[in-house]
Amino acid sequence: MKKFLASLALGFSLLAAAPAFSADAPAAAAAAPAATEAKADAAPAAAAPAAAGAPAAAAAAPAEAAPVLVPNKGDTAWMMVSTILVILMVVPGLALFYGGLVRSKNMLSVLMQVMVTFSLITVLWFIYGYSLAFTEGNAYFGGLDRLFMKGIWDNAAGTFANAATFSKGVVIPELTFAGFQATFAGITCALIVGAFAERIKFSAVLMFMVLWFTFSYLPIAHMVWFWMGPDAYSAKEVVDEMNSKAGLIWQWGALDFAGGTVVHINAAVAGLVGAFMVGKRVGYGREAMAPHSLTLTMVGASLLWVGWFGFNAGSALEANGFAALAFANTLLATAAAVLSWCVGEALMRGKASMLGAASGAVAGLVAITPAAGNVGIGGGLIIGLIAGFACLWGVNGLKKMLGADDTLDVFGVHGVGGIVGALLTGVFSSPSLGGPSAMGDWVTATMITSADFSIASQVWIQAKAIMVTIVWSGVVSLVSFKLVDLTIGLRVTEEEEREGLDISSHGETAYHG
Amino acid sequence: MKLVTAIIKPFKLDEVREALSGIGVQGITVTEVKGFGRQKGHTELYRGAEYVVDFLPKVKIEAAVAADLVERVIEAIEAGARTGKIGDGKIFVYDLEQVVRIRTGETGTEAL
């Protein structure tokens, strides 16, 4: 009866929003409005965020008809490719990375949880997720302007809405932006399953994901990433108003290029809470639970590395210098982390292991995520080196201290790596340390000068963003897991756990004989 | 008739096989097994989790032979399988009550 009520409640909450596939004029408050009303601003002074391509025009008077912005084909193509790369990161990248680490009797359950979670979140994203994250609302949540993606394209007129990038006058189709962001939501949720693998109920995973996605992922994405776009900053007079419409953490000036907070810390905390609340695996600490295929784990880690170029460099939203910087950092930081994890392990125990190298790669990727387009290459190298050592501690010393059975070290890698990366982003974004600085004035698109950049204040802002994320995700996870436990239960029975989730939850075996 | 069973190191299989056919043993059965005696296992490390693996891969050979051949079989296996290091294995000899060749129905020593 409880299960039935829970499913009903879930179903009704999804249907609650009236479908509104209106083909009418696009909603005025799109995530980054850049439709026909866009004003062409004066080209900014030589500023780092190449606003090249912005039509050189006098500051537009409100009554003047401004040129219609057309998506840049190179940028759009790059964003589509980036989206594909991020999908590759999840299926099969993350699926295999995680799958190889569990016992063979649970392989399929991990593959299922990753793939089905990703699919579920993608669907919810296109129903209400995108709207609540990337439209104008308040400082914590967006609005319902893009519910069911209404207004994102006009099939009668044959026009597509545009989304802003970080350069004035440069747009990509909003559908492309929404699709790209859908994969971020999907992978964030899929990451969490590693923490409670091998013992959680499949339906509990899905129910938890709906709740956590809605109440943790969406608001944090909105708080950190939502803003009105560079074209909205047309004159000094509107700056305060435009700032006030942005997400809370964006307003603080936190730098999170591709999701150190939104994705990694967010998911890691949820995973840790889950590991505590679901409880340890039967036989943990006594029985052998060695990975059944480190070969597949390596394949997964490699796909993650390759796909991450889309994750990081795609977060530049354009195929420009910042994408190139993010690309280079994604390559260098990861390589550095592989080396530092291997060195750390060799020093600790005499041997560098394949699992260590693969984990080092992921640690570097996680740490460079908030930093990718925000730090120079030297900063990227150092971030990678530090992340390898920090996360090695995270999966050893810290894990013992925390005492939870975080099966696949979600917190040890994504939590520690995300926190380290987010903090170091505040350090290495400084122009004095080779970084590109942070935006000082969106009207003229000028960066904060080296003299004015304060590492201490930026690091403090980063720390605030990290703390809000940890607390918000922690509380939402706690409540969500509790709700799931009270309605459908979190764990399978001990017999089912011993038999293996593949058979007991999915009626299949991964390998025969 | 006797059943001679030997647990040996896997890489010694070919030498033992040759030694046995050299003294006229017609056929053997080989199984892959795990086990340990005095030879220590190894430690595996997966991130923070350390596992001591005691079981080592071995090969079990079984040969059904006439009782008068047993001594030479034991010598042949010993010679083929010995490395002089711990873990070389052991030979067990069981009494074999009946043997049947399935194709022809022959029994006893003719079936060996």
Structure tokens belonging to residue A401:
């201290």
Per-residue model confidence (pLDDT) at position A28:
33
Strands B2-8 vs B29-35: parallel, antiparallel or unpaired: unpaired
Sequential DSSP letters for A427-454 = HHTSGGGT----EEETTTTEEPPTTT--
Q: How far is B50 from chain A (nearest CA, A)?
A: 9
Sorting pLDDT into bands at 50, 70 and 90, what band is B38?
confident
Per-residue model confidence (pLDDT) at position B51:
85
Chain B interface includes A45 (CB < 8 A): no
Q: What angle do CA B43, B48, B53 make, to 5 degrees?
A: 20
Per-residue model confidence (pLDDT) at position A38:
34
Neighbours of A121 (CB within 10 A): 27
Q: What is the mean pLDDT of residues A33-52?
A: 36
Chain B 63-82, CB below 8 Å of chain A: which residues?
Answer: none
pLDDT of A51 > 50? The answer is no
Sorting pLDDT into bands at 50, 70 and 90, what band is B44?
confident
The position carrying tokens 């435009």 is A242
The position carrying tokens 């030879």 is B39
The position carrying tokens 């963003």 is A465
Chain A interface includes B48 (CB < 8 A): yes
Nearest to B45 among A353, A359, A399 (CB): A353
Q: What is the mean pLDDT of residues A285-304?
A: 95
Q: What is the mean pLDDT of residues B46-66?
A: 90
Higher-confidence position of B1 and A55: B1
Chain B interface includes A395 (CB < 8 A): yes
Q: From B48, which residue of chain A is nearest by alpha-carbon distance?
A: A396
Per-residue model confidence (pLDDT) at position A6:
52
Per-residue model confidence (pLDDT) at position B53:
84
Mean pLDDT of chain A: 90
B51-90 exposure pattern, b = at least 16 Cβ within 10 A, e = fewer: eeeeebebbbbebbbbeebbebbeebbbebbeeeeebbbe
Per-residue model confidence (pLDDT) at position A450:
94
Portion of chain B with pLDDT greater than 90, in percent: 79
pLDDT of A42 > 50? The answer is no
What amino acid occupies position A394? G
Contact list in B for residue A291 (CB cut-off 8 A) is 46
Contact list in A for residue B45 (CB cut-off 8 A) is 349, 351, 353
Q: What is the mean pLDDT of residues A234-238?
A: 96
Neighbours of A493 (CB within 10 A): 12
**Number of separate helices (H) and strands (E) present in chain B:** 2, 6
Interface test with A, best of B45, B47, B51 (most A CBs within 10 A): B47
Across the interface, do B47 and A359 touch by the CB < 8 Å criterion?
A: yes
Per-residue model confidence (pLDDT) at position A26:
34
Q: From A398, which residue of chain B is nearest by alpha-carbon distance?
A: B48
Q: What is the mean pLDDT of residues B12-28?
A: 94
pLDDT of A84 > 60? The answer is yes
| A369 vs A337: CA distance, rounded Å | 13
Is A84 exposed, middle or buried (CB count within 10 Å of its CB: 0-12, 13-18, 19+)? Answer: middle
Q: How far is B61 from chain A (nearest CA, A)?
A: 22
pLDDT of A208 > 60? The answer is yes
Sequential DSSP letters for chain B = -EEEEEEE-GGGHHHHHHHHHHTT----EEEEEEE-SSS--EEEEETTEEEEE--EEEEEEEEEE-GGGHHHHHHHHHHHH--SSTT-EEEEEEE----B-TTT--BGGGG-
Across the interface, do B49 and A290 touch by the CB < 8 Å criterion?
A: yes
pLDDT of B37 > 60? The answer is yes
SS3 (DSSP) at A63? coil
pLDDT single digits (tens) A357-372: 999 999 999 999 999 9
Portion of chain A with pLDDT greater than 70, in percent: 87
Give the length of chain A: 513
pLDDT single digits (tens) A5-32: 555 655 555 554 444 433 333 333 333 4
Backbone phi, psi, residue B100, to 5°: -130, 130
